[in-house]
A = this chain, B = another copy of it.
Amino acid sequence: MIMDEDFIKNPDVPGPTKEELRCLMICKSNVSDKDIVVDIGCGTGGLTVEFAKKAKYVYAIDINNKAIETTIQNIKKHDVNENVEVLEGDGLDVLDELTNFDLLIIGGSGGKLPLLIKKGYNKLNNNGRIIITAILLETRVEAVSTFKELSVIPDVVDISISKGQISERGTMMFAKNPVAIISAKKEN
């Protein structure tokens, strides 16, 4: 895993997704070098870069122009230009242009999560996987209820991590904000 501090940051763009979370998303996604990945809400490119190292190809999408710029910087820095394409736009529109993908990451939705899940899940290749990160309580619930509508029971994991800062006095634990991962596999 790339360390958090090895990503270029941008004060106007959320991210990068913390190391431990990137790690869990790699696992939950079961990504392989045969997979084509779509990362909606690529932010700083934290997940884009990490998945690009494991997958065949990644489409990185963001509606925010500054996120697109930062993602491009991180793609260069981490040397994954060759198998990433960066697309500016609303994920809901960009999805229309994409076909044939195995893994859909939704890291940002701007209030359109149900539509993104439905459209994305439908377009996903068979045995494809969809994986959503949620920092808002509402996102967790929206994801679950949209999957219910699709008759899919997703896996829901809420992760709270604290990291030790070691000094002479001892080991002080600093908490990271909780994040949920909601994921599902498309069975055909």
Contacts from A to B (Cβ < 8 Å): 1, 19-20, 22-24, 26-28, 30, 111, 135-141, 144-145, 148, 153-164, 166, 169-178
Contact = CB atoms under 8 A, between A and B. Distances in A.
Given A20-B159, A136-B171, A137-B144, 8 more contacts: A20-B157, A135-B172, A137-B173, A156-B164, A157-B162, A157-B163, A158-B164, A162-B178
A109 to B, nearest CB: 10
Contacts of A137: 137, 140-141, 144, 156, 164, 170-171, 173
A141 to B, nearest CB: 5
Contacts of A1: 27-28, 30
Contacts of A26: 23, 27
B159 A171 contact: no
A126 B163 CA distance: 26
Nearest to A29: B1
A155 B26 CA distance: 21
B177 A153 contact: no
B157 A171 contact: no
A59 B42 CA distance: 40
A137 B134 CA distance: 12
